[in-house]
Amino acid sequence: MNIGIIGLGSIGASLAGDWRQAGHVVVGVSRRQSTCDLAIERGFIDRGSTDLEILTGLDVLVICTPIADILPTLARSIAVIDPETIVTDVGSVKEAIVAPATKIRSNFIGGHPMAGKATSGIEAAELGMFAGKPYVLTPLESTPQRAIDLLTQLAIDLNARLDLAAPTEHDRAVAWISHLPVMVSASLIDACTQEQDRSVLGLAQKLASSGFKDTSRVGGGNPELGMMMARYNQAAILDAIAIYRQQLDRLEQAISTNQWAEVTAILEHTQNARPDFVKVPIP
């Protein structure tokens, strides 16, 4: 296949590299020429440019810019790409994108490859990032079958786990397991920095090990991405935060009133529930 990628950052360049390794021809567009040059040097793409004009003769165009740029980028690129080119995106939210994108381009299909790193930009790109990870497609009833088939094949080429969902369902689900964790993890780091005793704070920073590394990872990631999750999935993330706050209040109440059986019951429930979400060891 001939694949075009716009936005050669952590997700765009990683996808490009994997698809190129799978035998596809990949052309890339990014904001800076230096990023395109690096993407060629590292073997992520065959050709690259800051100019959308390079995106002709494509089977599929994958928009991998920050969320706020996806629709404007789509609107600009349709003047250049062939009418039959399938267009998809990788945005972490889907409802705010899929309906308006489909109005602009009827053969658009929403997508979300669910892997990521705390760092951003092309320096964070790596091969094999999506293997074993979910790749969600969010087709509408009007989405052409060819778009679903083509993206299904590309997800298989990444060794990703394909899922189909409606955009709203996707956004509510990722609010729980991706967007809420970012806000919780960020609040955890923020709370720790409130320690007023400098020697205690210094000791905590020195002692922080695997538990803190796990729980703080997503809160220490790309601030722009976290803000966009909140901004473009506002209703679902607010619902999730409200329930989370209730759970924290319940724990606080039980701890402050010495209800140790209640604390144990809550932790037994969470111990049993976790494998329903985390089925395989995640590195």
Interface ranges with ligand NAP (CB under 6 A): 6-12, 29-32, 35, 64-67, 69, 73, 90-92, 112-114, 116, 120-122, 124, 222, 225
DSSP state of 123: G
CA 267 to chain centre: 29
Residue with smaller CB distance to ligand NAP, 118 or 203: 118
Cβ at position 105, least distance to ligand NAP in Å: 17
Residue with smaller CB distance to ligand NAP, 118 or 267: 118
Query: With the C-alpha atoms ordered 2, 35, 216, 70, is the resulting torsion angle positive or negative?
Result: negative
Cβ at position 92, least distance to ligand NAP in Å: 3
Intra-chain end-to-end CA distance of the chain, in Å: 31
Q: Helix count (H) and strand count (E) of the chain?
A: 12, 8
Residue with smaller CB distance to ligand NAP, 54 or 204: 54
Residue with smaller CB distance to ligand NAP, 118 or 200: 118
Cβ at position 225, least distance to ligand NAP in Å: 6
Cβ at position 165, least distance to ligand NAP in Å: 15
Strand order in the sheet with 25-29: 47-49, 25-29, 2-6, 60-63, 86-89, 108-113, 134-138, 161-164
| Backbone dihedral angles phi then psi of residue 160, each to the nearest 5 degrees | -85, 165
Residues 6 or more apart in contact with residue 62 via CB below 8 angstroms: 3, 4, 5, 6, 12, 15, 87, 88, 89, 90, 111
Cβ at position 200, least distance to ligand NAP in Å: 33
| Backbone dihedral angles phi then psi of residue 106, each to the nearest 5 degrees | -65, -25
> CA-CA distance, 283 to 280, in Å (whole number)?
9
Residue with smaller CB distance to ligand NAP, 32 or 250: 32
DSSP state of 179: I
Residue with smaller CB distance to ligand NAP, 102 or 222: 222
Cβ at position 161, least distance to ligand NAP in Å: 14
Closest residue to ligand NAP, based on beta-carbon distance: 9
